[in-house]
Structure formats: C-alpha cells, structure tokens
C-alpha cells in the first residue's frame, strides 16, 4: 500500500540560526558565470555574443521551449566568453561569463508590467525568469498554466522550509511580506476559480507565521497554517496532505486533486517583477553549516561564485568537509567553490570534516525504521537489496512493484538508519536504472 502519511516520524535538528538575520547585499562581484540551465526543462538559448555590453536585467538567453526559462544579466559588463559548466548533477551545460565594467545600470527593458488577466500573469511569469525557487526549478509560468482549466480550488504557498539551516524563504515572509501579499493579490484578481489560499509554515518559524497572519488578516480567503516541525514537511505531496488532507495518487499531479503548490519566494519575486519589471537576477542564500564562521543570509547576483559569498560572509572555521548547494538533507555537494550560485540556490551549507564522516556501514538489522520514516510509505531497503541482483528483469520487477519513482529523495530513510546504510544514494541509483530501463522498453514498444 503506497500513498502518503502525516509526517510524524522524522525529527531532524533544524539549526535555523539565521532566522533572525535579514539578507545583506554582496557588493557587485568582478565577474559572474551564468549557466544556461538553472531550471527543469530545456537549457536557455544565448542571444548575446562575446564582446557585447550588457546591463542589469537585460535578457541574455531565451527560453528554448515551453518548459524552459529565460536568463537575464545580473550585473553590468562585457560578455567575456562562453564556458562549459559542470552542474552538481554531472550535466555539462553552457554558461556565459560576464565581467563587471564598474557600472550599476538597469536595462531599458526593465519596466513595470500591466496585469489584467491570467494570460498577462502567465506571460509575466514566463518573462520574469522565475522558476521554483525552493530548489525544484520548475518554470513558474508552466505551474501557473494549470489555472487556465478553472479546476484548481486551492493554492498552497509553500513556506515550510523544512531543511536544516536554510532560512531564505523565512526571510522572504518577514522582510518581503508586501511582495508576498501582492503575489497573492495577483492570483486572486486573475484566477477567480481559486477559493482558498493556504500559506503552510512549520511551527519553528514563529516570526514568519506572525508576519504572514498580520499581512493577510483582512483577506478571508487566505489562511496561514502552522505545521508541525517534521521532515519533509515541504515536499509537495506531503504539504498537500498536511494542509488540505488530499492525497495525490501515484503518477498524478497536484492539479489532479485541484491544488496548486507554489514556492512563497517565487510568488514574491513575480510580484516584484510585475511592479518594477526587474526579472530574477539576484538570489538570497543562507550561508550556514558547522564549518561556517558567521552564519548569514546574503543576497548576491546570480552567477556569483560560492567562494566570494563565503569570503564576504566571514569565511570558514575548522577543517571543511563538504560544501553543499542546498541543505544537508537534499543539497548537492560541489566539486569546487568556484562554482556559481543559480536561480535555485537557497543555501550554501558548509559542513566540518567531522560532520561528514560516514558512519561505519553494518548489516541491516531489519528494524524497519527506514520504512517508518518514509513519507510515501515506501520500502527503501528493498531498493538497496535489489541493486545486488544480477537478473535485470527481476530487479526491474521489484523496483516497479515497490514504486521506486515515488521516492522524492528526501533522505529521511538514510537519516534514521542505525546501520549507516546509504539508502538515499541507493534509491537515486535505482531510480536512474529504472528510468533508463523504462525508456528503453518504451522505444521497443514494450511499455
Ligand atoms: S528518500 Fe525516498 S525512500 Fe527514503 S524516505 Fe525519502 S521518499 Fe522514502
Ligand atoms: S533502517 Fe537500516 S537497519 Fe533498519 S531496516 Fe532499514 S536498512 Fe535495515
């Protein structure tokens, strides 16, 4: 039996040490490296050439398809060259190097947008370059597109931010409450079929809950729901269940249960775009972790190197074990601190050498904790065991029967395993093998 459970099993330390710290601005860096793929979908197509002069907010790459997103210059300067950028997921993509020319000037295209209809709002979302800023990177315009069907009755704004350390959405709710309000008002005005707006926030963010309740106290269609501090509260299907008690069936989308989930910062950035015309060119990131000397929230142009943000933030302390883009549960380790931040970077987490020591892996003691911890009622142990099978058909049968693709890679199973087994890593391997197998079968006409 698969589905979803009310999260009651996985308590992780939250370390929200930066929750009370507003973002501080990083001075313009000398150079930025802007990858063409910072979202789910097709990489954006560059429309500038080496030698071109660009200004802040000028489009430098077009969306290359329906599921894609345009990219804008985050600083003024000269396009130096195109470089190959190796993403943390191992994919090589094109990136544009821009060298700062000492100016801070907005491009003439940065102008307020008139929003009279849902079409206008979706067009604005597409042109704003906003994607799921909680880390998913799904283009916001594609998400908003489901509102055209008039079947969505509830919009959930995701302010759960359940990963340890990260507080960038928390600060959006506190420091940019007016932008959040304007984002919701845009939806109320252009999507009348939506009857209910729910802002879901974990209880460990009392200031954000208070600010949001104050901000929306005169809007009866908006509820601010304080959620238990349990991981992974912010996972889309978990959040839907915990706010409106609807279960998204396997293989279906939130829209199939008439719900749309949007990251709260994405909507705040879209509201600002409509008001000012400034697309997504800067990102607020939490710099924290056991090897960070002075945790902070820092706002920097997209494409700024991790190294510059660390140095500006006060550097590291002790021996660094790992640098992650994102939090310790779902973040990706980077190979070098020269890598840039992107639209989806919510945090730079730096862990000490001590904290990244892998526990000695021992045999499974069949305690069942991994299955208990799973928000999707999966059995991660079966996936790990299946990887040892040499019979491919048998392996795929097990993965299929036990719904490997429902795994959201939240890491809860690994976190609770007393035997130190790398369950989430095995899940990722099993998912990629299963994906390759199903694609192969589809090509052969077998699935
Ligand atoms: S990583 Fe996958 S299998 Fe493990 S707890 Fe999360 S959803 Fe379940
Ligand atoms: S939590 Fe670890 S030890 Fe317990 S059943 Fe799962 S894999 Fe085995």
pLDDT tens, residue by residue, 8-62: 457 788 899 999 999 999 999 999 999 999 999 999 999 999 999 999 999 999 9
pLDDT for res 380: 95
Termini Cα distance of the chain: 23
pLDDT tens, residue by residue, 210-230: 999 999 999 999 999 999 988
Dump strand ranges (E) for 103-211.
Answer: 154-158, 196-202
- Cα(359) to centroid of ligand 2, in Å? 14
- Cα(417) to centroid of ligand 2, in Å? 5
- Cα(7) to centroid of ligand 1, in Å? 12
- Cα(381) to centroid of ligand 2, in Å? 7
- Cα(377) to centroid of ligand 1, in Å? 8
Ligand 2 pocket test, candidate residues 9, 362, 374, 381, most atoms within 8 A of CB = 381
Fold of 142-276: Rossmann fold (3.40.50)
Tens digits of pLDDT across the chain (447 residues): 455 554 445 778 889 999 999 999 999 999 999 999 999 999 999 999 999 999 999 999 999 999 999 999 999 999 999 999 988 777 899 999 999 999 999 999 999 999 999 999 999 999 999 999 877 799 999 999 999 988 999 999 999 999 999 999 999 999 999 999 999 999 999 999 999 999 999 999 999 999 999 999 999 999 999 999 888 999 999 999 999 999 988 788 999 999 999 999 999 999 999 999 999 999 999 999 999 999 999 999 999 999 999 999 999 999 999 999 999 999 988 989 999 999 999 999 999 999 888 778 899 999 999 999 998 889 999 999 999 999 999 999 999 999 999 998 999 999 999 999 999 999 999 999 999 999 998 888 755
- Cα(12) to centroid of ligand 1, in Å? 15
417 ligand 2 Cβ < 6 A: yes
Three-state secondary-structure class, residue 17? coil
Q: What Cα–Cα distance (Å) separates residue 420 from each residue in 52, 78, 165?
A: 52, 49, 22
Q: Name the nearest CA neighbour of 376 among 261, 230, 249, 275.
A: 249
Q: Could you tell me which residues come within 8 angstroms of residue 185 by beta carbon, excluding any fewer than 6 positions away?
A: none
CB-CB contact of 270 with 131 (8 Å)? no
**Closest Cα to atom 8 of ligand 1:** 374
Residue corresponding to tokens 């995701």: 158
Q: Exposed, middle or buried, 344 (CB in 10 Å: 0-12/13-18/19+)?
A: buried
Q: Give the domain ranges of the chain.
A: 142-276, 369-443
pLDDT tens, residue by residue, 337-366: 999 999 999 999 999 999 888 778 899 999
Cα 43 → chain centroid: 17
369 ligand 2 Cβ < 6 A: yes
374 ligand 1 Cβ < 6 A: yes
**Closest Cα to atom 6 of ligand 2:** 370
Q: Which atom of ligand 2 is nearest to the CA of 371?
A: 6
| Ligand in closest contact with the CA of 376 | 1
| Ligand in closest contact with the CA of 364 | 2
Ligand 2 pocket test, candidate residues 361, 369, 416, most atoms within 8 A of CB = 369
Write down the pTM of the prediction: 0.91
Q: How far apart are CA 376 and CA 76, in angstroms?
A: 46
**Closest Cα to atom 8 of ligand 2:** 364
């Amino acid at each position: 039996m698969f589905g979803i459970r009310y999260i009651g099993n996985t308590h992780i330390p939250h370390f929200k040490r930066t929750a009370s710290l507003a973002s501080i601005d990083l001075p313009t860096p000398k150079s930025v490296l802007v990858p063409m793929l910072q979202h789910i979908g097709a990489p954006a197509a560059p429309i500038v050439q080496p030698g071109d002069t660009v200004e802040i907010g000028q489009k430098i790459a077009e969306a290359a398809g329906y599921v894609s997103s345009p990219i804008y210059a985050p600083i003024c300067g000269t396009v130096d060259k195109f470089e190959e950028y190796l993403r943390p997921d191992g994919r090589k993509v094109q990136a544009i190097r821009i060298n700062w020319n000492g100016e801070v000037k907005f491009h003439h295209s940065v102008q307020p947008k008139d929003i009279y209809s849902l079409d206008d709002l979706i067009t604005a979302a597409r042109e704003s370059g906003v994607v799921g800023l909680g880390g998913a990177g799904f283009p916001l315009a594609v998400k908003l597109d489901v509102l055209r069907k008039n079947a969505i009755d509830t919009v959930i704004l995701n302010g759960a931010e359940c990963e340890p350390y990260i507080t960038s959405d928390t600060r959006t709710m506190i420091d940019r409450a007016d932008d959040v309000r304007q984002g919701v008002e845009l939806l109320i005005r252009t999507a009348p079929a939506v009857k209910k707006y729910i802002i879901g926030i974990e209880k460990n963010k009392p200031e954000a809950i208070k600010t949001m309740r104050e901000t929306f106290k005169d809007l009866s269609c908006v509820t601010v729901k304080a959620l238990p501090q349990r991981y992974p509260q912010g996972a889309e299907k978990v959040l839907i269940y915990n706010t409106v008690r609807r279960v998204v069936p396997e293989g279906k989308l939130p829209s199939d249960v008439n719900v749309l989930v949007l990251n709260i910062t994405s909507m705040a950035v879209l509201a600002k775009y409509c008001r000012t015309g400034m697309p997504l060119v800067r990102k607020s990131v939490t710099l924290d972790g056991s090897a960070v000397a002075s945790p902070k929230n820092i706002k920097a142009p997209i494409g700024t190197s991790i190294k510059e943000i660390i140095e500006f933030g006060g550097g590291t302390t002790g021996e660094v074990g790992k640098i992650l883009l994102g939090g310790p549960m779902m973040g990706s380790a980077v190979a070098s601190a020269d890598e840039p931040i992107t639209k989806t970077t919510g945090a730079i987490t730096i862990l000490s050498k001590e904290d990244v020591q892998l526990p000695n892996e021992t045999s499974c003691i069949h305690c069942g904790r991994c299955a208990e911890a799973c928000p999707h009622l999966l059995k991660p142990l079966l996936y790990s065991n299946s990887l040892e099978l040499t019979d491919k058909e048998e392996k795929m049968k097990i993965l299929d029967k036990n719904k490997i693709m429902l795994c959201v890679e939240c890491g809860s199973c690994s976190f609770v395993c007393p035997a130190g087994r790398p369950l989430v890593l095995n899940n990722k391997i099993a998912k990629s093998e299963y994906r390759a197998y199903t694609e192969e079968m589809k090509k052969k006409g077998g699935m």
